[in-house]
Amino acid sequence: MAAPLTLLLIVAVTIRAVLFRSSWAELISERVEVVSPLNAWKRVVEGLALLDLGVSPYSGDVFHEVSLSLIHFLFKSILGSDGITAVALYLSIQTYNKNVFRKQKYALESDRYPADCLELLRSPKEMFYIPLKVAMFYLLNPFTILSCVAKSTCGLNNAIIALFILCTLKGSALLSGILLALATYQSIYPLTLFAPALLFFLQRLYIPVNLRRSSFWFFTLQYAFIYVGSLVVITGLSFFLLGSWDFIPSVYGFIFSVPDLTPNIGLFWYFFAEMFEHFRLFFICVFQINVFFYTIPLSIKLKEHPVFLIFMQIAIISIFKSYPTVGDVALYMAFLPAWSHLYRFLRNIFLVSCVLLACSALFPVLWHLWIYAGSANSNFYYAITLLFNFGQILLVSDYFYAYLRREHHLTHGLYLKKKDGTEATLVLK
C-alpha cells in the first residue's frame, strides 16, 4: 500500500505547490474562513517583526500564538504538515482496522452476533482501501488545500493531533501524553481528547472502567501524570524562551474571552458582536462550557468505542470552538471513510452534503457582497455561518445515530419483528 500512498502524496504536494506559486496564495491567506486571529501566518510574521523591533509580540493584540521560536523553526514543516497528518491518519486507521477485524473475529467465534446480522459484518476486502481513502479525504479535501496554501498554523495543530491518534492507537502512552500536551498547549480544546485516549488505553490493557477498582485509578493517574507533566514542562519552556508569562493571557485568555470579533465560520463572532454587555460574561461561560461538557456523557456512552469517541470529540471541538477554521473541519471529515460501513443507517446524508456544499460555495460570495460590494450586510454571512454549523451538527449526530444503531443491530439482530410478527421500526425512546 505504500505505492498508492506515495502517489497520493505526490499529487497532493503538486496541487499545493501549484496553488502556492500562483496569485491565489495571497488571496487565500486573507480569507477569514481559512485563517483566524489565532492561526494566521500574517500574524506570525508580525510577531517576528515586533520581536525585531524590540517589542514583546504579546504587548499588542495582534499575535496569539504560543512559542514563537517553535513556529519559526517549524515553518518549513508547516508546508509538510499535511503530509505528516495524512501518513499518521493512514497508519492509525490501518491499526484501527486491524483491531476492529480482530475483535470481530473473536466475537464471531464466540457466537456473540445474532444470526441475521452477518451482512453487517465487515470484510477485509472492504476494509482494505479505507486507510488510503482516509489519507485521500484529508489530502485532497479543498479545505485542507486552502488551509495549507494559506500557511495557517492549523495544519501544525492537525498534524500534532494526528500523531497523537497514531501513538494512542499504537499503544504508546508516553508519546501519546506528550503529543496531547503539545496539542493542548497550542489551543486548549484538545484537552477533551484525554478521555478517549484514556479509555483506549484501558481497553487495550484490559483494565475495566470501574471507578471502584484500584487498577483503573492507577493507570489513570499514570496517564494524567504524563499528560499534565509534559504540559507543565512545555509551558515552563516557553516561559524561559520568551522570559515572561505574557503569552498566557495573550493566548489562552484570548481563546477563552473572545475579544476579537473578526468574522469566521463559527458561532461566536456575531453572537458576541450583538451581545448586551451585561450578559457577556455569562454567555462566554456558557459557550465555552458547551465545548467541554459533552466529554463525560459521550465517554460514558461510547466507552467501548474510543476511536469513534475521538472522532466525535474532534468534531465537537471543530464546531463549537471560539475561532474555527476550515482546517479544523477537514480533520474530522478525514475520518468519514472509516465509517463508510454505516452508510445504510445514515438518515440525512444527502441533505447534509448539499447544505455543506452550498454553504462552502456561498461563504465567499456573501463575504464579497458584504465587505466589498456593500450590497449585503453582515446578516447574510451570519446566516450562512448558522447553516454551515447546523449542517455540521447534523452530520456528526447522523453518524452517531448510525453507529449506535449498528451496535444495537449487532446485539439484537438486524431484522427485528414486532410482537405480532410484522416488520418493526426502531425508534429512540
Partner 1 sequence: MILWIQQSKAAARDEFQEELVIRPLHSGDIYASFQFRTLWDTDFLQEGQKVSHYRLFPKSLGQVLSKFSVRELHISFTQGFWRTMQWGQPFIPSPPGAELWVWFHDTVSDVDGNWKELTNVLSGIFCASLNFIDLTNTVQPSASFKPLGLGNATDHRFLRYATLPREIVCTENLTPWKKLLPCGSKAGLAVLMKSEKLFHSSFHSQAVHIRPICQDEQCSSKAWELRQTLNVVFDLHTSGQGKKEWSLFKMFSRTLTEACPLASSSKVYVDITDNPELSPATPLLGQAVVLGDRRTYSVYDLSRAETFGQLRSFNLLLRWKGDSDMLRPLLHAERYVAGFGLQTGEIHTVIYNNHPYRAFPVLLMDSVPWYLQLYIHTLTVTSKSRDNKPSYIHYQPAKDRHRPHLLEMLIQLPPHSMTEVTVQFERALLKWTEYTPDPNHGFYVGSSVVSALVPSMVAMRTNFTQDQPLFSSFVPVKEESSYFVRVYTEPLLVNLPTPDFSMPYNVICLTCTVVAVGYGSFYNLLTRTFQVDEPSPPLSKRLANLIRRMRGVPLLT
Q: CB of residue 309 vs partner 1: minimum separation in angstroms?
A: 12
Q: CB of residue 277 vs partner 1: minimum separation in angstroms?
A: 6
Give me 295's grid cell. Answer: 466529554
Q: Which is nearer to partner 1, 349 or 393 (CB)?
A: 393
Is there binding between residue 48 and partner 1 (CB under 8 A)?
yes
Is there binding between residue 290 and partner 1 (CB under 8 A)?
yes
Q: Which of 60, 171, 208, 236 binds partner 1 (CB under 8 A)?
A: 60
Crossing angle, helix 173-186 and helix 214-242, to 10 degrees?
50
**Dist. CA 144–CA 50, nearest whole Å:** 29
Is there binding between residue 4 and partner 1 (CB under 8 A)?
no
Is there binding between residue 246 and partner 1 (CB under 8 A)?
no
Residues pairing with 423 in the sheet: 417
Q: Which of 185, 272, 323, 332 binds partner 1 (CB under 8 A)?
A: 272
* Spatial CB neighbours of 217, under 8 Å, sequence gap ≥ 6: 211
Q: Which of 1, 4, 30, 364 binds partner 1 (CB under 8 A)?
A: 30
Is there binding between residue 126 and partner 1 (CB under 8 A)?
no
Q: Which is nearer to partner 1, 22 or 379 (CB)?
A: 379
Give the phi and the psi of residue 274 in degrees, each rounded to 5.
-105, 15
Is there binding between residue 227 and partner 1 (CB under 8 A)?
no
Q: Which of 269, 308, 323, 332 binds partner 1 (CB under 8 A)?
A: 269
**Dist. CA 194–CA 177, nearest whole Å:** 8
Is there binding between residue 262 and partner 1 (CB under 8 A)?
yes
Q: Can you tell me whether residue 417 is helix, strand or coil?
A: strand
- State which of positions 62-81 bind partner 1 (CB under 8 A): 62
**Dist. CA 146–CA 159, nearest whole Å:** 16
* Spatial CB neighbours of 57, under 8 Å, sequence gap ≥ 6: 46, 47, 48, 50, 51, 63, 68
- In our burial notation (b when 16+ CB lie closer than 10 A, e otherwise), range 233-252 reads ebbeebeeebeeeebeebbb
Q: Which is nearer to partner 1, 129 or 283 (CB)?
A: 283
Is there binding between residue 303 and partner 1 (CB under 8 A)?
no
Q: CB of residue 282 vs partner 1: minimum separation in angstroms?
A: 11
Give me 193's grid cell. Answer: 481528547
Is there binding between residue 276 and partner 1 (CB under 8 A)?
yes
Is there binding between residue 397 and partner 1 (CB under 8 A)?
yes
Nearest to 92 by CA among 161, 8, 32, 45: 161
DSSP for 29-80 reads HH-TTT--TTT-HHHHHHHHHHHHTTS-TTSSSS---S-HHHHHHTHHHHHH
Q: CB of residue 333 vs partner 1: minimum separation in angstroms?
A: 17
Nearest to 322 by CA among 266, 275, 378: 266
Is there binding between residue 332 and partner 1 (CB under 8 A)?
no
Q: Which residue has the cell 468519514?
A: 336
Which residues in this chain contact partner 1 in the complex, by CB under 8 A? 30, 32, 42, 45-46, 48-50, 53, 55, 59-62, 259-263, 267, 269-277, 287, 290, 294, 297-298, 300-301, 319-320, 370-372, 374, 377-379, 382, 386, 389-390, 393-394, 397, 400-401, 404-405, 408, 412, 416-419, 424-429
